[in-house]
C-alpha cells in the first residue's frame, strides 16, 4: 500500500539534520529548516488513506520512504508505531528515534537528512521536483 507526495526543493535545503527528514506543504523554507527536503507538498498526512494509516499503526509494519529527484533516488526504511496518527495538515517527518507526534510518518528510520545522498540534496537545493513514495508492509 502506497502514498505518493510531490514537492519541490528550495535553495535553503541543506539536509544537515541528524535525526529527521521532513516535507512540508509550506511555500517557504528558512535556513533553520535543516531537516526539510521539500516544500509545497501536494498532500499531507491528514489526507492519507485510512487503510494506509491503519497499516502503519502496527508495531510490525515496515515503512519505506523512496525519495526521487532529478534522476537520483534514495530509499529509507523505518517502522510503524501504534501511536502514529497521520493527523498533521502541514508536514510529515521521518524520525530515527521512536518519538511520535502528529507529524511523524515513521520511527526508527535508518537514515536522517544528513545521511542522504548529497547529489540528491544538491538537486533539491536547485529547486527540482521531489517525489516521496511511502510504502507500508504490515
Number of C-beta neighbours around residue 78 at 10 A: 23
Looking up residue 87, the CATH number of its domain turns out to be 2.60.120.630
* pLDDT, one tens digit for every residue, the chain (138 residues): 999 999 999 999 999 999 999 999 999 999 999 999 999 999 999 999 999 999 999 999 999 999 999 999 999 999 999 999 999 999 999 999 999 999 999 999 999 999 999 999 999 999 999 999 999 997
Positive or negative: CA dihedral 51, 69, 43, 75: positive
Query: How far is the CA of 16 from the CAs of 83, 89, 105, 111, 125, in angstroms?
Result: 27, 24, 19, 12, 12
Range of the domain at 74: 2-137
Q: How many domains in the chain?
A: 1
The cell for 41 is 507538498
Positive or negative: CA dihedral 40, 6, 55, 96: negative
Whole-prediction pTM value?
0.96
The cell for 127 is 529547486
What's phi and psi for 134, nearest 5 deg? Answer: -100, 130
Amino acid at each position: 500500500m502506497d502514498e505518493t507526495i510531490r514537492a519541490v526543493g528550495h535553495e535553503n535545503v541543506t539536509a544537515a539534520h541528524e535525526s529527521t527528514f521532513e516535507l512540508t506543504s509550506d511555500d517557504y523554507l528558512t535556513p533553520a529548516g535543516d531537516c526539510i527536503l521539500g516544500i509545497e507538498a501536494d498532500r499531507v498526512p491528514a489526507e492519507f488513506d485510512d487503510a494506509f494509516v491503519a497499516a502503519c499503526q502496527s508495531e510490525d509494519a515496515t515503512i519505506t520512504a523512496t525519495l526521487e529527484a532529478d534522476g537520483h533516488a534514495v530509499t529509507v526504511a523505518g517502522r510503524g508505531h501504534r501511536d502514529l496518527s497521520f493527523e498533521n495538515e502541514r508536514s510529515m517527518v521521518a524520525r530515527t528515534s521512536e518519538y511520535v507526534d502528529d507529524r511523524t510518518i515513521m520511527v526508527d528510520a535508518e537514515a536522517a537528512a544528513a545521511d542522504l545522498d548529497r547529489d540528491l540534496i544538491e538537486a533539491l537545493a536547485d529547486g527540482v521536483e521531489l517525489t516521496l513514495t511511502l510504502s507500508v508492509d504490515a
